[in-house]
Amino acid sequence: MLPWQAAKKWQEEHSPIPFEVVLGEYLKNGYVWSSPGEFVLGRTAFWDGEDMIFEGNNHNCWVVQLAAGLNPMKRFLKVTPMKLEFVSWQRDGEERWHVWEWNKFKKKVYNNGKH
């Protein structure tokens, strides 16, 4: 299974929103990376320390919607068009945001999660 297929499968199993709708939204208003090794959907937002705000232009955070493949977050860090202060995501439909400072997240990703 290719990474985009794994992302589609996850989306279909965990959300009523069809994968094609999510993909279309990120093609229009976000960033899409798809290769034989990784698939990532990301967009920018403003993290105020409690809430993720998608409106406006004062964005300081990358929000990863879907990621699949061998090491999609490592690829994501390489292909984003700009470095922002934070990288974030939510797990399995949780409300809580996982927010990391860019440089700390980069160290974690490049060390394979080792501290």
* Residue 32 DSSP SS3: strand
Per-residue confidence band for 109, with pLDDT thresholds at 50, 70 and 90: confident
Which one has a higher pLDDT value, 13 or 91?
13
Listed range (22-36, 44-58, 85-99) with the worst mean pLDDT: 85-99
- Under 8 Å CB-to-CB from 78, ≥6 apart: which residues? none
- The owner of tokens 């232009």 is 57
- Domain ranges (residues) in the chain: 3-110
Provide the mean pLDDT of the chain: 91
Closest CA to 93 of 15, 1, 26, 17: 15
pLDDT(115) > 60: no
- The owner of tokens 């320390």 is 49
**Cβ(3)–Cβ(72) below 8 Å:** yes
Mean per-residue pLDDT, 10-14:
92
The CA distance from 110 to 12, in Å, is 30
Largest separation between any pair of C-alpha atoms in the chain = 38
Res 94: pLDDT: 76
Mean per-residue pLDDT, 49-71:
93
Res 54: pLDDT: 92
Res 110: pLDDT: 86
Which two tokens mark 29? 């208003």
